[in-house]
Amino acid sequence: MSGNTLPRPSRPSIAPPTGPLPSLPVAKSRSSNISPASRGSLLPSPATANRAVSSSALPTRASPRHTNSPSVPTLPPDDSPAGALPPGKSLRKTVSIGAFPQPPRHGGRTAPGSPLSASLTPNGETTDRRLSSVSKTSVPSRNSSLKKPRTSNIGGARGLLSRSPLSPPSLLNGSADSVAVDTAHLSLPSPPQSRNSSPQGSYATSATTFEDIGDDDARGRSDDKGHKDGKGNVIVSVRVRPDIGVKDSKTEQEWEVDNKHASISYKGREGGEYSYDNVFDTQDNNARVYDSAAKRLVRRVMEGYHGTVFAYGMTGTGKTFSMQGTATNPGVIPLAITDIFSYIRETPHREFLLRVSYLEIYNERIHDLLAGPVVGMNGQPGPQEEIKLREDSKRGVYATPLKEEIVQSPTQLLRVIARGDNARRVAGTQFNARSSRSHAVVQIVVESRERAPGPAASSSNKRSAIIPGGVRVSTLSLIDLAGSEKAADNKERRTEGSHINKSLLTLGTVIGRLASDKEKSEKEKGKGDKHLPYRDSKLTRLLQPALSGNSLVSILCTIQIGASGSVAAAISHTGETLNTLKFASRAKNNIVSHAKKADESMGAGGDAGSRALLDRYRLEIQELKKQLEEGKTKETKEEEEEEFKRDLEQEKARELEDKQRHEEQMLEMQLARTALKERIEHLNRLILSSKSLGVNNGRSFSSMSFQRGSVIGNHVDMRPSSVRSSASHATLEVPGQNHAQPSMPMDGSEEDDSVGENGDGIASQTVQIQALQADLADKNRYITTLEKRLLHARRSSHSRVSMTLSHKLGGSSEDGGLIATIAEKDTEITNLRAQLEDKERMIAALTSARKKNDNAHEMGSDGSPGSRRTSSYQRSGSEGSSVNLVAKGPTSPTSPKPFLPPPTTNTGKNIEEMTRMLDEMITGRVEKTARRSSLMPVTEGQ
């Protein structure tokens, strides 16, 4: 995986570095020939500034405003320099690391390894209690271990550090140009125990302070030598752990710790004075250590340099305490995290991506502390995949495969690290109840780039500006080494100890040889570092890029002066302490850093492209956005297509329905038309007959031959032909004299003719009856047709209604149209039935008229009734239905005799009556037909 490496070796830069790297601020020159006074004035260090107050002069009273760190000495409020702040400088607000949520505790461990949660653990509590007691009891006796009482009293509280406006500007502590930052935008709360700017034992941190040091020239002047040889990039500090247990005043007197001048003197055998960049005494808390030893380096990492901070020292001297700290006294790691995020907040024109990995080297094997437990096939915890160190020209030395987590907040980052801490191997040893048995390496990879080239970017600090489009990748390595130790009784501890000691020895050797290496020319260096035994241990291999000059380096060496316990222990301590001090001196003298800003990757194809997640993410985001857009377009297209299809289908269905309806309508109309045609035809015939009656007055029926055969032979099919109809109607109109003077012969041979030509009312009535019967048949047919149509219309209406009922509950116009049609048809049928009844009544009237006529006729001819053949007519079927007139009684053997209406006196009246009725009917019918034919298409069309 990318990003698993320690700071990488120099890579070909896409954009050449902006110039020689300004060295990290050096607190003071190691050169012992510089007088303390001049050192203090030329290179004021935070130590210098903060040592301004002798702890002996500080009454240790608990401040009501400062409750978080009982170990931190407190100051009287009078010492507050707050009122002395120069105009334009506001008091810095600070954030407490203790305000962060505590990382989750690891259930599998009896005691969490992380001091981040130390306050929650018995061990941590012990530590805190001890610290508390130290602060309460040992603070006044601080000078007892320091031969030289501190006399300077600048700035009041040591905790105020060099941020005090009274303290001289320091390149190391950044007070040279410290700018207060408006912290209103900070989302982190500032609880009562927060690190504030109170002089009362508070400590400043860059967490909320932006420092634009940026004056490389100034640095060059102040530490010209360091700048030239790159020594300014390496800071070596020594921290003295407070003694616990029985005090050995003799041993203590042999040591002199001068944190003001950052020197430690030993007056015993092998005695001497050791000078470093910083010396922290037992009173210095973690914040102070961080501010002086690591803060600048962390900010440089944010600007694009690789940086490495590591703690070295004998077991139990406070390496883990310094790196991790406790909840109330956070160490370098949590403070660095706070600073990283503060820097990000303060740099709005750049965007950042942070990823973190955490590994340990235990018994010369590398373990991923973030990988979690590996479950084997049988469900039991299995061995982790072996992590190897690899090296390539671009990435330098890196461990693989190693899990990296992307983090977005300090809390998240702290939790990740706490998780790794819990996985780290610790065990109780002779000197430390929770001794780290491995070297632990936290690696935070910082990727950053300009948000958008603009005024913000251009006006920003030149040093941190990134070329447009480029991604800068830098690495901060925070390393807590295992402590060197004497051989233990326990075999396991012995094995661990031997590995630890071996790797530390290799580290010492490498650093020792760096001295000779630095004498070599650059040319020779280019041939490689083969003479340096980096490969002899995993630790040195991992540290190789840092040690060989590609990284800013800060080494914190921890020692314990006091001899707690036996004399042997005291002697052992002294020896170890001296070894540590020598190691620190060698490191200070030998490590030369020519760290340069990390290369900038230009997109995924750039040199550092393989590591720049920011770039990859940006490309991925672009790609995903594109896909999203495409997906949206596709979706929209598909939706449109589907909608179109749906519309098309609906339209088709509608068309089909319309077509079916149209066909139905056509059929219905055709039927109706046919029926109407028939009706009109028939009625026309009737009308014409009436007219013709007027034209052919008197003789009209003579020219209208009555087709006897058709009447007689086709009794059932009594359809009125035009002639027949005319005749029948004409007969009705014939004046009565025709009946009175019948001229037709009465014999059988003439009978037909007489009936046809001269039959007067009888023939007419017969024909009329026939016509009416035909009319009746027509009507019946028409009724049948209408009934069929009605049935058909009902069926189709029913199917349509059931189909659309769900969404046409209110009833559509179509349904309304159908219902109207049905109603109309029903009315029509009712009318027709009524007309049928009329007809039947007419037939009945005609029949009775004919009978009367018949009788009268008979009476008139021979005086005896029934002399003529009598015919009686029996109505078959019920009234109101179709009527069949069947001749009964004596009939001709060959053909039925024609009906002869009885010529009574009432005949004319009857005929008149009937004529009127028929006229009315015809008129009504014609009107109705006309109306319906004009209305029907509209009604049907609906």
Ligand X SMILES: Nc1ncnc2c1ncn2[C@@H]1O[C@H](COP(=O)(O)OP(=O)(O)OP(=O)(O)O)[C@@H](O)[C@H]1O
Nearer to ligand X, 62 or 666 (CB): 62
How big is the CA angle at 192 (ends 190 and 193), to the nearest 5 degrees? 95
77 contacts 83 by C-beta, under 8 angstroms: no
* Contact (CB, 8 A) for 239 and 280: yes
Cα 78–chain centre separation: 56
725 CA to centre of own chain:
89
Q: Helical H runs in 757-812?
A: 760-804
The CA distances from residue 586 to 256, 489, 545, 582, in Å, are 20, 31, 18, 6
Of 103 and 756, the one with the shorter C-beta distance to ligand X is 103
**320 assigned binding-site residue:** yes
Shortest spacing between CB 254 and ligand X, in angstroms: 20
The packing angle between helices 760-804 and 613-695, to 10°, is 170
Q: In the complex with ligand X, which residue's Cβ is closer, 227 or 319?
A: 319
Contacts of 431 (CB under 8 A, 6+ apart): 314, 315, 316, 483, 485
Q: 102 vs 558, which CB is nearer to ligand X?
A: 558
Flag whether 633 is marked binding: no
Beta carbons of 293 and 234 less than 8 angstroms apart: no
Q: Which residues pair with 397 in a beta bridge?
A: 391
CB 211 within 8 A of CB 114: no
> Between residues 276 and 706, which has the closer beta carbon with respect to ligand X?
276
Q: Which is nearer to ligand X, 434 or 449 (CB)?
A: 434
User: φ and ψ at 63, to 5 degrees?
Assistant: -85, 135
Tally of CB atoms within 10 A around 933: 15
Q: Which is nearer to ligand X, 347 or 435 (CB)?
A: 435
Query: Residue 215 carries which DSSP code?
Result: -
Q: Is 156 annotated as a binding residue?
A: no
CA atoms within 13 A on the CB side of 101: 10
Give the residues across from 388 on adjacent strands: 400
Quote the least distance from Cβ 501 to ligand X, whole Å: 12
Q: Residue 30: left (phi > 0), alpha (psi -120 to 50), or beta?
A: alpha
Question: Does 313 appear as a known binding residue?
Answer: yes
| Contact (Cβ atoms closer than 8 angstroms) between residue 559 and residue 580 | yes
Burial of 582 (0-12, 13-18, 19+ CB in 10 A): middle
Q: How far apart are CA 385 and CA 376, in angstroms?
A: 11
| Least separation in angstroms between CB 323 and ligand X | 8
Q: Please, how many CA atoms are within 13 Å of residue 411, restricted to the half-sphere of its CB? A: 9
**Nearest distance in Å: CB 321, ligand X:** 3
Q: Are 797 and 833 in contact (CB under 8 A)?
A: no
- Shorter beta-carbon distance to ligand X: residue 483 or 606: 483
Please state the closest distance from residue 126 (CB atom) to ligand X, in A: 7
In the complex with ligand X, the residue whose CB is nearer, 127 or 726, is: 127
Rounded CA separation 707/714 (Å): 10
SS3 breakdown of the chain: % helix, strand, coil, rounded to 5? Answer: 50, 15, 35
Q: How far is the CB of 341 from ligand X (least distance, A)?
A: 25
Give me the least distance between CB of 287 and ligand X, in Å please: 12
Known binding residue 538? Answer is no
Q: How far is the CB of 242 from ligand X (least distance, A)?
A: 5
Smallest gap from residue 451 Cβ to ligand X (A): 41
> Is 60 known as a binding-site position?
no
In sequence order, the β-bridge partners of residue 447 are 353, 473
Residue 318, marked binder: yes
For tokens 């160490």, the residue is 331
**Residue 481 Cβ vs ligand X, minimum distance, rounded to whole Å:** 7
Strand duo 470-480 + 439-450: pairing: antiparallel
What distance in Å separates the CA atoms of residue 541 and residue 364, rounded to the nearest whole number?
11
Instruction: Please state whether 88 falls in left (phi above 0), alpha (psi between -120 and 50) or beta.
Output: left
Report, in Å, the least distance between residue 502 CB and ligand X: 15
Q: Is 317 annotated as a binding residue?
A: yes
Please, which residue, 317 or 847, has the CB nearer to ligand X?
Answer: 317
Omega into 104 within 30° of 0, i.e. cis? no
Rounded to a whole number of angstroms, the minimum distance from the CB of residue 437 to ligand X is: 8
In 243-331 the beta strands, taken as DSSP E runs, fall at 255-258, 263-266, 272-275, 278-280, 307-313
Judged by beta carbon, residue 120 or residue 921, the one nearer ligand X is 120
Sheet strands (E) in 93-152: none
Minimum CB distance to ligand X, residue 127 (Å):
3
By beta-carbon proximity to ligand X, the closer residue of 422 and 435 is 435
Which residues contact ligand X by CB under 6 A?
127, 131, 241-242, 313, 315-321, 432, 434-436, 482-483, 558
Residue placing its CB nearer to ligand X in the complex, 465 or 578? 578
Binding residues for ATP, by number, are 313-320
Binding residues, by number, are 313-320
